Amino acid sequence: MRQPSKTASPIRLTVLGATGSVGQSTLDLIARTPDDFEIVALTAQCNADELATLAIRHRARVAVIGDDAHYQALKERLAGTGIIAMSGRDSLVAAAQIPVDCVMAAIVGVAGLAPTLAATQQGCRIALANKECLVSAGPMFMRAVRDHGATLLPVDSEHSGVLQALSAHSPDMLDKITITASGGPFRTWNVTRIAAANPEDALKHPNWVMGRKITIDSATLMNKGLELIEAQHLFGVTPDQLDVLVHPQSVIHALVSYKDGSVLAQMASPDMRTPIALALAWPQRMAAPTKPLDLAEIGALTFERPDETKFPALRIAKAAMRMGEGATTALNAANEVAVDAFLAKRLKFPHIAQIAEQTIESLLRGGSLKEPHNLETALALDQEARNQAQDHLAAL
């Protein structure tokens, strides 16, 4: 894998989900050293105008819009630029298959699974932001990474922290991996107040600016549960070796504890451009415009245990991780349905965790939970879980 440098040829990069929060942060970094990168394909779901603007600015070869309804708008905006416009789900997969050195997988939700899996099959480097891939189909996805010789690098800040704190240590001396959580906007709220929280409250994340889905997941702490499952697959550890610590300042992102008592922590100001830069430049580093960490200005770093009574989504996600056998596929699907419904004001905040738990339970009772072994079985279980989640939602 080539590294960014003035002399090496540029890294060919595709960004899946280019118009999103991670996609934009990625392109912001690239724009600072444009000679080090060559943008091959950019994708988005609905925003044809923004996608075209990005494709023109970064001189992409291909721009793909997932929703066919926006194809005409994209084609018109790109007329005369030489950039190829495509649309539809198959085209997202086709874009991921164009040979490159690195694919930034930054689509949100299980919608990212097929294109990200297709990217692994070309054996390139995958900068993985789309954690739902690993939650929904972790064993199958990791097998594809190994079988095709792809290099999987986490973009999630906590997992990027783990990767750095793990470097150069023998795996059998690893004791525990701890990922931190800011605690979200409701950390200090009581249960009654949380129960009445509306989407506007939940979208006010204290430390990070992110897409809407992950921001709601951060408010429920489901995000931390999804990240435990992500860590289990990325680092090949058992649920017993994984822990969560609430750390409201979001300065320490991960801690790796060794059997000799040593604990290595990774720190950075909360800015996604730091972990993105590491995934793009690994195993080297590239500069990012993140605010330098000034610990004297911050003054104190504090820690709390997560409250799983106030935030049951974390408990439910942990149980699904231990259960395995498709339980995390169901968890992810039900959570996506419930978060959409919460954002549309069709259910109350506590119902998100409730729908996730009811969906896993009903699929378990119906004998439908089975570890997906390929894309088709993963998407079939995802769909079945979505149907169940809709039924539970209707019965609220």
Footprint on this chain of ligand NAD (rule: CB under 6 A): 17-23, 44-45, 66, 92, 106-108, 111, 129-132, 156, 208, 210-214, 272
Are the C-beta atoms of residues 187 and 248 closer than 8 Å to each other? yes
Q: Binding Mg ion by CB under 5 A: which of 38, 101, 132, 156?
A: 156
Stretch that binds Mg ion, among 81-89, 101-109, 156-164, 348-356 (CB under 5 A): 156-164
Are the C-beta atoms of residues 205 and 185 closer than 8 Å to each other? yes
Answer with the entry of ligand NAD, Mg ion, none that 225 interacts with (C-beta below 5 to 8 A by kind).
Answer: none
Are the C-beta atoms of residues 269 and 291 closer than 8 Å to each other? yes
- DSSP code of residue 210: -
Query: Which residues lie closer than 8 Å to 50 by C-beta, 6 or more apart?
Result: 19, 44
Nearer to ligand NAD, 129 or 229 (CB): 129
Answer with the entry of Mg ion, ligand NAD, none that 4 interacts with (C-beta below 5 to 8 A by kind).
Answer: none
Contact between 132 and Mg ion by CB under 5 A: the answer reads no
Nearer to ligand NAD, 224 or 351 (CB): 224
User: Could you tell me how many residues of this chain bind Mg ion (CB under 5 A)?
Assistant: 3
Instruction: Report in angstroms how near the CB of residue 19 gets to ligand NAD at its nearest.
Output: 4
Answer with the entry of Mg ion, ligand NAD, none that 108 interacts with (C-beta below 5 to 8 A by kind).
Answer: ligand NAD
> 205 is written with which tokens?
């994340």
Distance CA 110, CA 99 (A): 23
Contact between 230 and Mg ion by CB under 5 A: the answer reads no
Tell me the residue number closest to ligand NAD, measured at CB: 20
Q: Which element (helix H / strand E) includes 151?
A: strand 151-154
Instruction: Report in angstroms how near the CB of residue 181 gets to ligand NAD at its nearest.
Output: 12
Give the residue among 321, 129, 329, 171 at the shortest CA–CA distance from 233. Answer: 321
Query: Would you say the C-alpha torsion 148, 150, 154, 160 has a positive or negative sign?
Result: positive
Q: Are strands 263-267 and 252-258 parallel, antiparallel or unpaired?
A: antiparallel
Binding site for Mg ion (CB under 5 A): 156-158
